[in-house]
Amino acid sequence: MSALTVVAIIGAYFALLILISFLTGKDDSNAAFFRGKQQSPWFVVAFGMIGASLSGVTFISVPGWVATSQFSYMQMVMGYMTGYLVIATVLMPLYYRLNLTSIYGYLEQRFGFWSYKTGAFYFLLSRVIGASFRLYLVAIALHIAVFKPMNLPFWLAVLVAVVLIWVYTFRSGIKTIIWTDTLQTASMLLAVIVTIFVIKDSMDWGVGQMTSAIAQSDYSQVFFFDDWNDSKHFVKQFLAGMFITISMTGLDQDMMQKNLSCKNIGEAQKNMFWFSAVLIIANLLFLSLGAMLYLYSSHIGFDAAISGDKLYPSLALGGELGTLAAVLFIIGLVAAAYSSADSALTALTTSFCVDFLGMDKQEKSSDKNTRKIVHIAFSMLLFIVIMIFKSVNDDSVISELFKVAGFTYGPLLGLYAFGLFTKRSVKDRLVPFVAIAAPLLCYVLQQNSEVWFNGYKIGFELLLINGLLTTFLLFLISSRNGAQ
């Protein structure tokens, strides 16, 4: 596929996003930007959150994992469901009762100033890293497909990737994101479904034959109970899924900002329940696609060395799946990357304006201009961090940087757990030190777990350990004086 064709496809897609931004962005007030004036339809929020919960990495990697992990990822998805139940019944009622714009305002009411700023800081840190990494992947794809053939530099691809987000989010923020995420979720799912049916037709299968082929393949095992040291063990993945969801959705301003834009707690809870149900179907589709890709590549004698993350793009863009699948793959990949990155930029702006500039306390006439400056500043920060990733030029280091984001949610998990399930107060000024100490101790523990625990390797459950350590350290600096 030529560079000009890719440009035309991406250009048409972003023209549609900008049109949505124009239609939803007539009100550019802070109330619309931060919470959509609490007028977002719950069913639109629910469907759009599917795209925000996925990413360009997921779009490519989940199908690629099937060769080595089978359908074991569904064990984690089952944990997600439990996590969403906790969010809908415990956290969201709390946020609505306190009428929060930023969810970290709870920490100020419960513990004090330093706890509040610590929670907000950890969110900003993890989201800057995560959003930058996702956009880095988009910039690489843009550079390879478009800019490199035209002898244009990588930094220009990065600039375009960031500016495109800014263009359709700078006016109405979350109000626009609710609708653009709906389009992007539909684009991802359409790409997956069409690809599955293209392969089905190429293999001359009916729907029943396709289902049987997947179920009888070597890729379809869901449950793993045999080896406790195996990272695929059911208990590990289920608990990891549950606490990852509670932390990275329920304690994440990016994800919860969408829920807070619903009219009331009842609609926000309906959104969460339906979103989690659709997410199960979406993940099952991605895993089924993975099985189909491997079965198809074996059937046509495709290069066996091409597997994992490279399999889906290689088959889609190499022409084996036809023009329609190639076009939808490009749109789906861009949609997957941008649906998480655009909401992250909006949430970063909201968190900084509310948590560090106090814009929710007393609105001033200059606040709207200040918000726009903050929005531009975070766009520039994303550009700088992406260029730092590029200068490192070491995939293993970049991968580790991305994993660092997992450490930052442990202190948030511990802070909220301690606040919700105890009535003790803490020495507020010491909370930042606790939030630094717990991830450092977890890092040491992870690096030495195989030696210290007879071959046991800590995986996704590190988040739970991090949260428990934070809770324990908070207990050490607490007293029985009651909640603050």
Look at residue 208 and tell me if it is in a domain: yes
Look at residue 335 and tell me if it is in a domain: yes
Q: Which residue range(s) make up the domain with 137?
A: 3-405
Predicted local confidence at residue 351, as pLDDT: 84
| Number of Cβ atoms within 10 Å of the Cβ of 79 | 24
Predicted local confidence at residue 364, as pLDDT: 65
Rounded CA separation 9/138 (Å) = 15
In a 13 Å sphere around the CA of 467, the CA atoms on its Cβ side amount to: 24
Which residue carries 């709870």 as its tokens?
106
Tokens of 258: 């969408």
Nearest to 387 by CA among 172, 184, 176, 133: 133
- What are the φ/ψ torsions at residue 478 (nearest 5 degrees)? -110, 170
Look at residue 436 and tell me if it is in a domain: no
The CATH number of whichever domain residue 162 belongs to comes to 1.20.1730.10
CB 135 within 8 A of CB 162: yes
Predicted local confidence at residue 101, as pLDDT: 81
Number of domains in the chain: 1
**Chain centre to alpha carbon of residue 105:** 22
Rounded CA separation 65/142 (Å) = 24
Look at residue 194 and tell me if it is in a domain: yes
* Residue 276 burial (C-beta neighbours within 10 Å; 0-12, 13-18, 19+): buried
**Chain centre to alpha carbon of residue 85:** 18
Nearest to 279 by CA among 249, 240, 324, 236: 249
Look at residue 60 and tell me if it is in a domain: yes
Rounded CA separation 219/287 (Å) = 9
CB 44 within 8 A of CB 209: no
Cα dihedral sign, 276-278-280-283: negative
pLDDT tens for 298-325 read: 989 888 777 777 788 888 878 888 888 9
* Residue 459 burial (C-beta neighbours within 10 Å; 0-12, 13-18, 19+): middle
202: left (phi over 0), alpha (psi -120 to 50) or beta: alpha
Look at residue 71 and tell me if it is in a domain: yes
Q: What is the mean pLDDT of each run of 10 residues along the chain (484 residues)?
A: 77 83 68 61 76 70 84 91 93 91 90 94 86 75 75 87 78 70 86 93 93 92 85 86 87 82 86 86 91 92 79 84 88 78 80 84 70 89 87 56 72 93 94 95 89 80 89 94 51
Q: What residues are paired with 478 via a beta bridge?
A: 426
CB 230 within 8 A of CB 224: yes
Predicted local confidence at residue 483, as pLDDT: 45
Look at residue 465 and tell me if it is in a domain: no
The model carries a pTM of 0.80
Write the CB contacts of 371 (distance below 8 Å, at least 6 apart in sequence). Answer: 30, 33, 349, 353, 359
Look at residue 185 and tell me if it is in a domain: yes
